[in-house]
Amino acid sequence: PVFRATKEQVMQTQKMLKVTETGKLSKEDREALKTYQTENGLKATGTLNKVTLEKMGITLTDKQKEM
């Protein structure tokens, strides 16, 4: 199964990154996410993976926790 962030998780991330909260990651959002990942010792993928969500303190769904 592929790890996917929920719309709510994307919006929480966008709020933390201080970008427009749309529920979908734009190219600019992904760049901001890469910066966050680099600054926090994570692999700069520009994607909302499990490790990034956990580092941001965003709650995972039960399904995501199993992955």
Enumerate residue ranges in the chain where pLDDT < 70. Answer: none
The 10 Å CB-count burial string (b at 16+, else e) for 13-47 is bbeebebeeeeebeeebeebbbebbeeeebebebe
- Give residue 1's pLDDT: 84
The whole model's pTM is what?
0.91
- Specify the long-range contacts of residues 53-60, CB closer than 8 Å, at least 24 apart: 53/5, 53/9, 53/13, 56/12, 56/13, 56/16, 58/9, 58/12, 58/13
